[in-house]
Every structure is written in structure tokens, then in C-alpha cells.
Amino acid sequence: MRSVQVLFACFKRRLVKEIKVAQLSGYVSEHTAYHHAEGGLATTIIGMAQTFVGSNNINLLRPNGQFGTRLQGGKDAASPRYIFTALHPIARVLFPEEDDAVLQYVDSVALPDTLLDCVRRTIRTRVRHFEQQRRGGMRSLFDCLNTFVGHLLRVSSPRYREDDGQAVEPTFFVPVIPMILVNGAKGIATGWSTDCPTYNPRDIIAQIRRHLNGQPVEAIHPWYRGFRGTVTPVWPGGTPAAAAAENSEDAVPTAYAVSYTNLTLPTIYSV
């Protein structure tokens, strides 16, 4: 959720010029529903801008400064008051501004689940109202249509969540490709644990196109920008054939082994 808040604040500020990470943390805290220490926001901002091997395949923020290295997994990043960042130009390509109106914005008033339901309800209500007014001769056709269009524009405009009377970030963003597969995700929650590896954006786009064309989706393997080693799937039983024999369903690897020159790190990502 912190990444959603950071993106919302950057889009709202139109952050094309660099700003200190510490300053951006304060801006995000001020303009979103974030009620925790700003150190967590600074960590999220740094993570979204990192570019070393094994971090982001597509960084949404610019890393202007020391944002960490592969040697320590990004933990050696400089203090937030000494490094700068800004929106990467690709951010608005992946999160088009034209899509902001269809995001799930929620405020204190109970709204329909989707914008489409809201538009359909408005059309039905206003058409009935127009027919009643026309039969009664109360208003002209132009006035009725003008009222209908005005109300339709109001319900189709973005509706933001409110926090202490202030419009804040949407529930989630919807990028043109699934960014959780591009940059991965790792974390824990009550009773759950997530460890999603990163994949090649080109492979993801190719599979999306196959799905849209009604073709079966092919298996893809983890990919790390700048990594020149190999990523090998670890199959149950040792081979895909043995895995298929043990499982009647589609066989999938249980883990991936990552090797670089003479160094092998088994079971880096479990599935």
C-alpha cells in the first residue's frame, strides 16, 4: 500500500524535477492516508528507485544518489536527506493518466462497486425522469438532456477516498502490465507469506497478448535485469516428466536455482 501512496503523491505533485527523498516522504505523509513514521516511506521510496541487479526490472522513480548496491541488497543506501529522486518517465506510460477516472475511488458515501454500474444506474434513473418531465410538459427536451449529461459527468469523474476530510489515494492502481510480476514482491502478513520473483517485461507482454488472442499461456521463468548467470527451474522428482507423473495437474517447478559463474545459490525462490 505504501507504493500506491508514493505513486499517488508523485502523480499529484507531477514530480518531474528531483526532490530529496526525505522531503518526498513528508509530502506523501501529508497528502495520503499514511499515519505511521516517515522512515517507512523513505524505505519504500528508495526501494522503488533501486536499479542494481536483483532489485527492480523497471524502476518507477529515479535514483539520483547512492540508493544501495547489490553487495548488501540495498541496505547500504545513503540517508534519505542526502539523496534525490523524481518520477521516471516510464511511470506514466505504465500508469496512464487517462485511466485515473476508472480507478476504484471510495469516499464517505456508499458508491456502486464499479463505475460502469454507476453509469448504468444513472442512465436508467435519468431516462425515467426525462420521460416523466416530457409527459408533464414541465421542461424542454434541451433542459432534460442537459441535466442528464451533467449528472453523468459528475458520477464518472474521479471519486477519492477521504481521510479527515482530505482526498487521498485510490484503493489501488491498475498498470497496463502486472507490475507485481515485473518487480516481484516479498513480505509477510498474518497467516500468509508472499515471495514472488521478478520476470522479464517482454515475456509478460507476450503472454498477455497470447491470452487476449485466445492462445494458451506458456510458462515463463524469473528474469533479473543485468544478471548474466542462469536461472534453472527445480522440478519435483528432478525433471518435468517426473513432476508430471507425480501430479495429474500441470506440473510446475517448486523452486528456481540461480547460478552465476562458479557460484550456485539453490532454492532462491520457492513457489
Report d(CA 42, CA 38) in Å as an integer. Answer: 6
The three cell numbers of residue 93 are 506510460
pLDDT for position 112: 44
Confidence check: pLDDT of 235 > 90 = no
- Please list the active-site residues: 82
Label residue 119 exposed, middle or buried (CB < 10 Å: 0-12, 13-18, 19+).
middle
The three cell numbers of residue 213 are 488472442
All domains in the chain, ordered by first residue: 2-98 (3.90.199.10), 100-168 (no CATH), 179-270 (no CATH)
Report d(CA 184, CA 74) in Å as an integer. Answer: 15
Average model confidence (pLDDT) across the chain: 77
Helices (H), the chain: 2-13, 21-31, 38-49, 91-94, 115-136, 141-156, 179-183, 201-212, 240-246
pLDDT for position 192: 83
The three cell numbers of residue 54 are 536483483
Sign of the CA dihedral running 123, 128, 129, 131: positive
pLDDT for position 264: 43
58, 52 Cβ separation under 8 angstroms: no
Confidence check: pLDDT of 119 > 70 = no
Confidence check: pLDDT of 258 > 90 = no
Residues 67-87: what's their mean pLDDT? 94
pLDDT for position 102: 81
pLDDT band at 100 (very low <50, low <70, confident <90, very high): confident
Lowest mean pLDDT among 160-169, 174-183, 260-269: 260-269
Q: What pTM value is reported for the model?
A: 0.70
Which residue would you say has higher pLDDT here, 118 or 208?
Answer: 208
Sign of the CA dihedral running 55, 196, 192, 91: positive
Confidence check: pLDDT of 130 > 50 = yes
Label residue 18 exposed, middle or buried (CB < 10 Å: 0-12, 13-18, 19+).
middle
Confidence check: pLDDT of 265 > 50 = no
